[in-house]
Amino acid sequence: MNPYGKHRNNGDSGSDIMANQEICDLANREHFDLSKWNDPIAWQGLLDGSTCPICIRKQPLDAIATLEASWVTMQEDAPVRGYVCLVSQTHAVELHDLLEETALAFMRDVQRVSKVIASVTGAVKLNYEIHGNSIPHLHMHFFPRYVRDQFGGLPIDPRAVIQPVYAPGEFEGIQDAVVAALAQDDRHAFFRHYGYLGGLRDWRPFASELGHIRMILLTIWDPVGILGADGAMDEYDSYAEAVLELIHGGADVDQVENHLVNIENELMGGCKKPVVTRFAAQRIVLAYKFSQQMKEADLPSLSEENS
Ligand SMILES: [Zn+2]
């Protein structure tokens, strides 16, 4: 499912032109002569973020997941099968503009995405590119390479790509697999979070089901942005309990997603980031499955695993 669909915007107003140059098209456009610095005034607005289309929208198009310091974006209209663009949540022009801590978080995201794409696509090699000539808001392109692909030993040339790169229905499958693999990888990230959040180390198997859900609601869903706010860490606890009840009742991803969307619609003035809500729902269901597997395997408690 791609709730944002394709973004081949052919409008000709100023904002449409900006939208047309969004991340979703960057891979195809970076290699064209679209260097915005030839217009110093327009370039300055893009550099300082005041006219940056990503910052104006508050997130890129086609975001399928939110990681520590970045958004993962994928689109069917891609230069190669399994293509992903990772977009920094911080407006930064160059890598050295990021604070060291943010840069490290961005690189952790890069590694996670790299691992996931390699596994989902079966690529023989990954190519990584950072340009920002059209939109100087830090983003990294991931191009999976395949045995006997169109470009042999050369870089991908988006202008020469024979479209479509996906067979009918294939994109949705790969996109879902990427999200699922990211969610699975998150289990370990959650364990690292336990120390940071404190007081949550002693969950035992039953409690850990609720704990996982709390963690996902806080770190992924977080529709009102309370993660890290003092005294607000229990903000979603009542929601977590309701979600756990749903899960115990056999709810699937769609049902959990609908439940979260209803909360957002009724209490928070609408669902602002549907893909994030769906991603959170997917993680909740996966976390529950892991929890069940841990119980069945009689694995050590979470705190022991974390030590
Ligand atoms: Zn920006």
The reported pLDDT for the residue numbered 87 is 97
66-75 in b/e form (b: 16+ CB < 10 A) is bbebbbbbbb
Mean pLDDT by 10 residues, the chain (307 residues): 33 32 49 72 95 93 85 93 96 97 93 95 96 94 95 89 92 86 65 45 49 81 74 82 93 94 92 81 78 62 43
**C-alpha 113 to ligand 1 mean position (Å):** 21
The reported pLDDT for the residue numbered 4 is 30
Taking the CB of residue 209, how many other CB atoms lie within 10 A of it? 23
The reported pLDDT for the residue numbered 190 is 55
244-263 in b/e form (b: 16+ CB < 10 A) is bebbeeebebebbbebbbeb
**C-alpha 47 to ligand 1 mean position (Å):** 8
The reported pLDDT for the residue numbered 179 is 81
**C-alpha 306 to ligand 1 mean position (Å):** 36
The reported pLDDT for the residue numbered 25 is 53
The reported pLDDT for the residue numbered 56 is 95
**C-alpha 86 to ligand 1 mean position (Å):** 13
The reported pLDDT for the residue numbered 88 is 97
Q: Give the architecture (CATH level 2) of 14-166.
A: 2-Layer Sandwich (3.30)
Q: Where are the domains of the chain?
A: 14-166, 193-306
**C-alpha 61 to ligand 1 mean position (Å):** 13
**C-alpha 66 to ligand 1 mean position (Å):** 16
The reported pLDDT for the residue numbered 298 is 57
Q: Return the structure tokens found at 24.
A: 């979703």
